[in-house]
């Protein structure tokens, strides 16, 4: 069963060292069906603390393709959480998913991120919504911090 990494790349950051997902957060994905290639019309939310059972087994999320009815299941790979280094110009993996019957094509980043400021190493995790531009002020380091734009991509993970 194929595993996929979710990679991010920040377009423009100010005084931010790293960005990492908060473990246990939910993930919104759009998936392309492996049988008919149709993409789920809405985001499907996957919560690693939830287990859905079906004839074929169990997973964090399980549903049928709306078009061809193929069963799709998704598990969060809890060991695949990673940290994005903002000095990198390249996309870096920050999360992973085991997907059966489909492949991920889009992610809803929303809230659930920890951002670390450069000077003070102050952590921000409340209200860090990476679907929008994020701007805050680091009172310890006395500097503004921001992330303007995040690109998302996916890559197949080797076994
Ligand atoms: Zn389908």
**Per-residue model confidence as pLDDT tens digits over 95-141:** 999 999 999 999 999 999 999 999 999 999 999 999 999 999 999 99
pLDDT of residue 31: 98
Nearest-angstrom CA–CA distance, 120 and 115: 12
The overall pTM is greater than 0.75: yes
71: left (phi > 0), else alpha (psi -120 to 50), else beta?
beta
Nearest-angstrom CA–CA distance, 28 and 42: 9
**Per-residue model confidence as pLDDT tens digits over 50-106:** 999 987 789 999 999 999 999 999 999 999 999 999 998 899 999 999 999 999 999
Ligand 1 centroid to Cα of residue 32, in Å, is: 8
Tell me the pLDDT band of 159, cut-offs 50, 70 and 90.
Answer: low
Q: CA 24, 149, 97, 37 torsion: positive or negative? A: positive
Radius of gyration of the chain (CA): 17
Weakest mean pLDDT among 2-16, 24-38, 46-60, 140-154: 46-60
Ligand 1 centroid to Cα of residue 58, in Å, is: 20
Ligand 1 centroid to Cα of residue 70, in Å, is: 6
**Per-residue model confidence as pLDDT tens digits over 32-48:** 999 999 999 999 999 99
- Round the average pLDDT of the chain to a whole number and report it: 95
Residue spans of the domains in the chain: they are: 3-157
Alpha-carbon separation of residue 93 from 63, 106, 114 (angstroms) = 26, 14, 15
Ligand 1 centroid to Cα of residue 73, in Å, is: 13
């Amino acid at each position: 069963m194929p595993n996929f990494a979710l990679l991010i790349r920040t377009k423009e950051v100010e005084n931010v060292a790293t960005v990492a997902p908060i473990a246990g957060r939910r993930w919104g994905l759009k998936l392309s069906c492996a049988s008919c290639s149709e993409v789920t019309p809405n985001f499907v939310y996957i919560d690693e603390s939830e287990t859905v059972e079906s004839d074929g087994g169990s997973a964090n999320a399980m549903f049928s393709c709306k078009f061809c009815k193929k069963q799709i299941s998704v598990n969060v790979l809890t060991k695949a959480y990673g940290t994005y280094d903002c000095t990198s110009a390249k996309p870096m993996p920050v999360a992973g998913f085991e997907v059966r019957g489909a492949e991920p094509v889009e992610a809803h980043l929303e809230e659930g991120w920890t951002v670390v400021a450069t000077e003070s190493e102050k952590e921000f995790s409340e209200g860090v919504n990476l679907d929008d531009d994020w701007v805050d002020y680091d009172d310890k380091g006395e500097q503004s911090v921001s992330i303007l734009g995040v690109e998302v991509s996916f890559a197949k993970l080797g076994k």
